[in-house]
Amino acid sequence: MASDGDGAAAVAALGISGGGGDDWAPPLRRNLPLLAPHEVELAKLLLSEGQSHLFEHWPEPGVDDDKKRNFFDQVCRLNSSYPGGLASYIQNARKLLADSKAGKNPYDGFSPSVPSGEVLTFGDDNFVSLEEAGVKEARHAAFVLVAGGLGERLGYKGIKVALPRETTTGKCFLQHYIESILALQEASCKLVEGECNTKIPFVIMTSDDTNALTVKLLESNSYFGMEPSQVHILKQEKVACLADNDARLALDPNDKYKIQTKPHGHGDVHALLYSSGLLEQWKSTGRKWVLFFQDTNGLLFNAIPSALGVSATKGYNVNSLAVPRKAKEAIGGITKLTHVDGRTMVINVEYNQLDPLLRATGHPDGDANCETGYSPYPGNINQLILEIGPYMEELQKTHGAISEFVNPKYTDSTKTAFKSSTRLECMMQDYPKTLPPSAKVGFTVMDAWLAYAPVKNNPEDAAKVPKGNPYHSATSGEMAIYRANSLILRKAGAQIADPVIDTFNGQEVEVWPRITWIPRWGLIFKDVKAKVHSNSSVSQRSALVINGKNITIQGLSLDGTLIVNAKDEAKFNVTGHIENKGWTIQHVDHKDTSEKEEIRIRGFKFNKVEQLELNY
Ligand SMILES: O=c1ccn([C@@H]2O[C@H](COP(=O)(O)OP(=O)(O)O[C@H]3O[C@H](CO)[C@H](O)[C@H](O)[C@H]3O)[C@@H](O)[C@H]2O)c(=O)[nH]1
């Protein structure tokens, strides 16, 4: 830090007179001697971008000097972490805020239509062969989890990847993701003749909100069996908040020497990957695919093998996973956009933009269901599979910058003031927007029961979801695992009892038998079919935990709780009639603070009365 004397010299050297009317807000002028030359440059930048208010409250030198210096440390970080620096950020913000105020449609000139993509049916021959193709490709893949989000809508205090995916085993999302990647690695390697030492890389994008807890979760669980060198953490920086339509930066309400910041969105992942150097490394070691996914979709890995199979067999540069979408559901719609000048693109139109776009282009009902009971636009679940070569070529041009948007909440229709500060955001699924028309952009649709069950909404909001639309809550997220596993076993020939309907935290859900397995057991449908025989049955009140790769089920009739553990490659056949009191489901009110938060948000817990545990 420059001494007072140095600062004054620096000021003089930079030719700053200390005058210039409003340019040098008086409180800043008085503090100039405190600043190092690079800080003076940053101050000039801020003033030239209309940010003199940031200094209005600064006291005389000698008071809060450390805080003033910390302020410039933060400005320096904000300036270096945004492509083009803070000046670009403020200019982009001013333009986007003006467009928003004017009600400008970001899709001006485009008309939407329903695109065609690959529609897969679980368990048919095409699905099975795509799964096999996907497993074969998996050893050329790298996975990227975007997990920098706060999960504001869920309101959970911890990080979302640490939440149990289901509470029968209690395994968290991150453990399930890692075990799934390792299972893919193992299965894919098995298909190679000779030795295969492939380690599938796994990147986690964190933010200041999630980084420390994510690292702690990994380290305290020995990376859930993954080699630490396989895992790369990339932390995204937040961006400055905007207080008004002039893009004046907002000060932190709790610290007037700090600019308030918020996450910039999952779109940051492309710029971070670009600057990390990982892509070159991956390409040079034979990687072909980069798979992006989100923090809480416990069904996702049911869809990965076949979707990767689609990418490989269709030669897609970009493949987005989708599920049938209910109108107004909070997932973007995959849409074909045709511009008046003839350009077309297939892209996600975010859920808050689809309705206005449709209304503005001759669809008076806006975002509505069609005769199928679903929106005609497939719902984007934000699982993207990018082919690494074309991806790297594109990033060479864009450096990973993704088109941004702003979403201010105005106090009234004059759109002159915001309810709270806003910021620019970007989304990873907007990546195809800059691609040339020659790019092969496709999508793959699967049933939601198989592929999509996120945990995003808190109990109160979930209970208000229109009837028939998915809740996207901790309750529905867990119940969806049991339903999917039950349906998969049914398809494999087992007799799985029908569900009962119950209501937890105000949400009516189907309660299927609580069946779970480790990814090594049932990575693809062919594996499940080979291990389950049709003469087996599971009653509705049962729980079945399959915890071993080579466990087979033959002639089992289960009415109660059964946990089967078999180590490594040990073979074990589960058979016979097993009956016990089992685990009953106990309702928990989400306001009951005597329960743990992860239990309260799902509205139930298991009362473990009796079980049979087999260890082999
Ligand atoms: O700055 C951020 C913001 C979010 N995330 C991560 O991005 C993912 C998605 O965040 P949200 O769950 O908040 O996303 P939304 O529900 O708003 O919407 C996104 O997910 C939906 C499907 O779940 C749809 O695909 C939609 O089009 C897409 O934008 C999460 O893993 C979150 O941790 C970050 O890493 N950094």
Would you call 594 helix, strand, or coil by DSSP?
A: coil
**How far is Cα 260 from Cα 239, in angstroms, rounded to an integer?**
8
Given a cut of 70, is residue 505 above it in pLDDT? yes
327, 458, 462 from 506: Cα distances, Å: 22, 11, 8
Ligand 1 centroid from CA 592, angstroms: 29
Arithmetic mean of pLDDT, 32-61 = 94
Strand partners, 515: 544
Atom of ligand 1 nearest to the CA of 265: 1
64, 176, 226, 468 from 230: Cα distances, Å: 45, 16, 7, 41
| pLDDT at residue 103, as a whole number | 84
List pocket residues of ligand 1, CB cut-off 6 Å: 146-149, 205, 207, 263-266, 294-295, 330-332, 348, 350, 380-382, 427, 429, 454, 456
- Percent of the chain having pLDDT more than 70? 96
Given a cut of 70, is residue 12 above it in pLDDT? no
DSSP per-residue codes, 353-376 = HHHHHHHHTT-TT-S---TTSSEE
Given a cut of 90, is residue 20 above it in pLDDT? no
List pLDDT tens digits, range 203-226: 999 999 999 999 999 999 999 999
Arithmetic mean of pLDDT, 514-540 = 96
361, 372, 491 from 356: Cα distances, Å: 9, 22, 41
| pLDDT at residue 373, as a whole number | 93
Those residues whose C-beta lies under 8 Å from the C-beta of residue 26, and which sit 6 or more positions away, are: none
Q: Please, which pLDDT band fits residue 63 given cuts at 50, 70 and 90?
A: very high
Token duo for residue 44: 């000039």
Q: Are 416 and 364 in contact (CB under 8 A)?
A: no
Ligand 1 centroid from CA 266, angstroms: 6
Q: Residue 561 carries which side chain, given as an amino acid letter?
A: T
Q: Please, which pLDDT band fits residue 23 given cuts at 50, 70 and 90?
A: low
Residue 125, judged by CB atoms within 10 A of its CB (0-12, 13-18, 19+), counts as exposed
Of 153-157, 241-245, 420-424, 446-450, the poorest mean pLDDT is in: 153-157
Say what the ipTM of the complex is: 0.98
List pLDDT tens digits, range 82-131: 888 999 999 999 999 999 999 888 898 999 999 989 999 999 999 999 99
Token duo for residue 97: 């805020």
| pLDDT at residue 6, as a whole number | 45
Ligand 1 centroid from CA 505, angstroms: 24
| pLDDT at residue 365, as a whole number | 94
The H-assigned helical ranges of 220-343 are 268-276, 278-284, 300-314
Atom of ligand 1 nearest to the CA of 428: 29
DSSP per-residue codes, 307-331 = HHHHHHHHT-SEEEEEEEE-TT-SS
462-615 belongs to which CATH class? mainly beta
**pTM for the full model?**
0.92
Atom of ligand 1 nearest to the CA of 452: 23
Q: Are 613 and 563 in contact (CB under 8 A)?
A: yes
| pLDDT at residue 11, as a whole number | 47
**How far is Cα 563 from Cα 401, in angstroms, rounded to an integer?**
48
Token duo for residue 457: 């909404």
Of 67-71, 351-355, 513-517, 535-539, the poorest mean pLDDT is in: 351-355
Token look-up 């982009």 returns: 92
Ligand 1 centroid from CA 149, angstroms: 7
Token duo for residue 109: 């000139």
Q: Please, which pLDDT band fits residue 3 given cuts at 50, 70 and 90?
A: very low
What residue segments make up the domains of the chain, in order of their start?
14-81, 99-456, 462-615
Averaged confidence pLDDT in the chain:
94
Ligand 1 centroid from CA 311, angstroms: 23
**CATH number, domain 99-456:** 3.90.550.10
Kindly give the pairing relationship between strand 239-240 and strand 251-252: unpaired
Atom of ligand 1 nearest to the CA of 331: 24
Pocket perturbation via mutation, ligand 1, pick of 174, 236, 266 by most ligand atoms within 8 A of CB: 266
Pocket perturbation via mutation, ligand 1, pick of 145, 146, 377 by most ligand atoms within 8 A of CB: 146
| pLDDT at residue 318, as a whole number | 96
For ligand 1, atom 10: residue with the closest CA:
149
Given a cut of 90, is residue 19 above it in pLDDT? no
Ligand 1 centroid from CA 77, angstroms: 24
Arithmetic mean of pLDDT, 516-543 = 96
Strand partners, 323: 379
Pocket perturbation via mutation, ligand 1, pick of 163, 272, 382 by most ligand atoms within 8 A of CB: 382
Ligand 1 centroid from CA 434, angstroms: 20
| pLDDT at residue 13, as a whole number | 44
Token duo for residue 39: 């800080």
For ligand 1, atom 23: residue with the closest CA:
381
Q: Are 79 and 85 in contact (CB under 8 A)?
A: yes
Given a cut of 90, is residue 321 above it in pLDDT? yes
Q: How many helices (H) and strands (E) does the chain have?
A: 18, 29
309, 310, 412, 452 from 128: Cα distances, Å: 10, 11, 54, 19
Atom of ligand 1 nearest to the CA of 149: 33
List pLDDT tens digits, range 572-614: 999 999 999 999 999 999 999 999 999 999 999 999 999 999 9
Arithmetic mean of pLDDT, 397-403 = 91
Cα torsion 345, 346, 350, 353: sign: positive
| pLDDT at residue 405, as a whole number | 94
Ligand 1 centroid from CA 428, angstroms: 9
Given a cut of 70, is residue 242 above it in pLDDT? yes
Torsion of Cα atoms, 265 then 385 then 436 then 82, to 10°:
30
Ligand 1 centroid from CA 576, angstroms: 45
Token duo for residue 470: 């998915």
